[in-house]
Chain A
Amino acid sequence: EAQVTQNPRYLITVTGKKLTVTCSQNMNHEYMSWYRQDPGLGLRQIYYSMNVEVTDKGDVPEGYKVSRKEKRNFPLILESPSPNQTSLYFCASSYRTSGYNEQFFGPGTRLTVL
């Protein structure tokens, strides 16, 4: 089954404790990205990757890191989480980078930073 998976689905952590949210897709998609969803703000892009070893900042990259060592995986790293990073996070992937393609979203990761 074609899908984007994220782990963990729920996480409660404390300020400053490094964490990684994993994202994996099995569709051989080139383009992957991370979004965060906050009430009243919709979804905003954090980082994206056009292919292996090619990543770039989205609209709200502060406090986050990503890597793309393999085509299927695109982990989101919070080196020192803070309460303002409490949010619902979505990973997404798509075939190409033309703007046309439907993005496949993961199930979401609900993160709470205390």
Chain B
Amino acid sequence: AQKVTQAQTEISVVEKEDVTLDCVYETRDTTYYLFWYKQPPSGELVFLIRRNSFDEQNEISGRYSWNFQKSTSSFNFTITASQVVDSAVYFCALSEASRGTDKLIFGTGTRLQVFP
């Protein structure tokens, strides 16, 4: 069965600390896509990244980096030198190609609080 697990409900850090948000997924599909979304206090969902199952290269975008490991079914997200503006709820999500739809299966989210 398809599932996304974000075991960390809430994380608190002090500004400039590095923080990693964990995401573990389950799927029987060989072709699937993984996403991260950010939900700031204002409530909207902001797309951060998409990864397909055939591309295990890690990705870096500024202070953000993502580590995709198929061997452990994980797609972790690291924020380097965190800032107060990074405070938000972060969702990891999975989409399976076999469904023929763009349905997203979301994790329960991790609330990140960055204190000055």
Contact = CB atoms under 8 A, between A and B. Distances in A.
Among A35, A50, A98, A110, the most chain B Cβ lie within 10 Å of the Cβ of A98
B44 A108 contact: yes
Q: Which of B45, B52, B91, B108 is most buried by chain A, counting CB atoms within 10 A of its CB?
A: B45
A96 interface: yes
Given A88-B43, A100-B33, A107-B43, A43 B106 contact: yes
Contacts of B52: 100
Contact of B104 (A40, A97, A103): A103
Contacts of A98: 97, 100, 102
Interface of B: 4, 6, 9, 31-33, 35, 37, 43-45, 47, 50, 52, 91, 93, 95-104, 106-109
A110 B44 CA distance: 11
A58 interface: yes
- Point out which of A41, A42, A48 has the most chain B C-beta atoms below 10 A from its C-beta: A42
A105 B104 CA distance: 12
A97 B101 contact: yes
Given A42-B91, A42-B108, A101 B102 contact: yes
Contact of B44 (A94, A102, A103, A107): A107
A29 to B, nearest CB: 9
A102 B100 contact: no
